[in-house]
Amino acid sequence: SRRNLLKAGVGVGAYGAGIALASRFGVASSPAPLLLEAKGTEAILDGTHVTKGMMTYAKADAPSANIPPVLRLRRGEPFVARFTNRLDEPTTVHWHGLRVPNRMDGVPFLTQPYLYKGDSFDYAFTPPDAGTFWYHPHCNTLTQIGRGMTGLLIVEDPKDPQFDAEITINLRDWRLGSDGQFIEQFRPRDTAKAGTNGTVRGANWRVEPSFDAPTGGLVRVRLAATDVTRIYALKLDGAEALVVALDGHPVPKIDRLETITIGPGQRLDLALRMPDSEGKTARLIDVRPSSAKTVANFRSVGTSLKRTLGDVTPLTPNPWQEPDLKSVERVPLILSATAENAPTQSICGTLGYTFWAINRVAWDGDTPDPMAPLVEMKLGKSYVFNLENNTPHAHPIHLHGMNFKVISSNARAVQPLITDTYLVLPDEKVQLALVADNVGDWVLHCHIIEHQKTGMTSFVRVI
């Protein structure tokens, strides 16, 4: 109707006009935007108390939920999120693992201005890769992620194999006191080591949630580790599964899940075969010695579908340009616990300490005049990052805007995974290869947010 056309066209600029025209003429010239907002909320996280002061994402036109919505996109189809900040502090949205144009990457100053309370921004891009990704802020992230701003983002491909069910798991802990309220998100003495873990553990904002799925069926489990700090060693008890993708990308070789270690920022896709008798439960457990715990349960319901893991078909690989290893430029990336400078304070938050550095320089904080990039890469040229961890702690190192391939390590046999986050072990030296295929300034940082915010951040430039 005319009224709806007007409503859609008012106050939203070019996109609004595009949508109005599109609905009038029946042409989808630009997609209808997803209305996404950031806002305060509260929820029961520990099973007993209402935790106040949470922060979340919500769809503006859907009934409000406390857990950020799982966003579903399609590979190769344009997507627009019209994002509005309703928090009392600035924020931005980063699409972790998605190869997007630089100005959609959500990093204050490097790619866009802060979004203050009431500000809106259209994040528009077309995802080139299918898989399991996630979204989170890139401003004051220890607080904002720590208080709930982490959502799964799934890019579907029409060619994706069919499963009997799909379960999405947002795996994370919370730092709460015994009264269920947030406590100090970090302890400096831990930040200078492996980081500060949460006190209440769970998935999808519940403690040991139980998911129902068809007895004897094949389930695609899409899991994202969205903790600010915790590293998991995940194992299944009572069922079997294949690891079909890691960090959004189909694995080069499908293996049975034994124990898999994943750090903050990483994703895991499983083909899970449900137990064969109705009512039986399988458990996903974290078997790290200091922190063993069930994180989720899967319960069989209905009569058995009698599938087997042999019925699983591999996923379609994402497009990937193979680096030319004969003509690469090598870029040293040395992680250390000492820096030659001290960061400045900024709105989006440094923590007031410097513990870490990349190539001996600690991140400056968000500033219009950042330090020099680690490297200036030429569009289309191949590079190898020689990542060297000179610290006694593991660091999930994440690159924005591009994927890299794990080539070799001095510490373990590696699969040639294509990924955006590599969990580098203490004293490990690893080689990561990529073609510089996306123009812009791209952050590279440890996804243990305390480490990120106390120096272990830098950026690369592609020109």
Residue whose pair of structure tokens reads 């108390």 in the numeric block:
49
Tell me which stretch binds ligand C2O (CB under 6 A): 52-60, 109-117, 427-435, 442-450. Answer: 442-450
Name which position in 152, 446, 460, 462 contacts Cu ion (CB under 5 A): 446
The torsion angles phi and psi of 31, rounded to 5 degrees, stand at: -70, 150
Beta bridge partners of 95: 135
Q: Choosing among Cu ion, ligand C2O, none, which partner's interface includes residue 249 (Cβ < 5 to 8 Å by kind)? A: none
Q: How far is the CB of 94 from Cu ion (least distance, A)?
A: 17
* Interface segment toward Cu ion; rule CB under 5 A; list 14-22, 174-182, 222-230, 394-402: 394-402
Which 3 state secondary structure label does DSSP give 6?
A: helix
Please state, in angstroms and rounded to a whole number, the distance separating the CA atoms of residues 408 and 312.
Answer: 29
Residue corresponding to tokens 């990542």: 387
- Rounded CA separation 456/6 (Å): 49
Contact string 242-281 vs ligand C2O (x = CB under 6 A): -----------------------x----------------
Spell out, one character per residue from 374 to 413, where the chain touches ligand C2O: x when CB under 6 A holds, - when not: ------------------------x-x-------------
> What are 249's strand-pairing partners?
246
Beta bridge partners of 462: 377, 440
Kindly indicate which of the ranges 69-77, 289-297, 402-410, 443-451 contains the residues binding ligand C2O, using the contact rule CB under 6 A. 443-451
- The binder of 172, among Cu ion, ligand C2O, none, by C-beta within 5 to 8 A per type, is none
Q: In 3-state terms, what secondary structure has residue 18?
A: helix
Q: What is the rounded CA–CA span in Å between residue 1 and residue 179? A: 52
Q: Say if residues 160 and 214 touch (Cβ distance below 8 Å).
A: no
451 binds ligand C2O (CB under 6 A): no
* Binds ligand C2O by CB under 6 A, chosen from 219, 257, 443, 448: 443
Q: State in angstroms the smallest separation of the CB of 400 from ligand C2O.
A: 6
Return the one option of Cu ion, ligand C2O, none that residue 180 interacts with (CB less than 5 to 8 A, by type). none
Nearest to 253 by CA among 403, 415, 419, 129: 415
Least distance to ligand C2O from the beta carbon of 222, Å?
Answer: 16
Asked if residues 166 and 220 have their Cβ atoms less than 8 Å apart, the reply is yes
Compute φ and ψ for 158, nearest 5 degrees: -55, -25
Q: Is 118 helix (H, G, I), strand (E, B) or coil?
A: coil
Number of residues that bind ligand C2O (CB under 6 A): 10
**Contact between 395 and Cu ion (CB under 5 A)?**
yes
Q: Which residues contact 313 (CB under 8 A, 6 or more apart)?
A: 161
Of 448, 449, 460, 462, the residue at the interface with Cu ion (CB under 5 A) is 448
- Does position 142 interact with ligand C2O (CB under 6 A)? The reply is no
Binding residues vs Cu ion (CB under 5 A): 395, 446, 448, 451
Binding residues vs ligand C2O (CB under 6 A): 94, 96, 136, 138, 265, 398, 400, 443, 445, 447
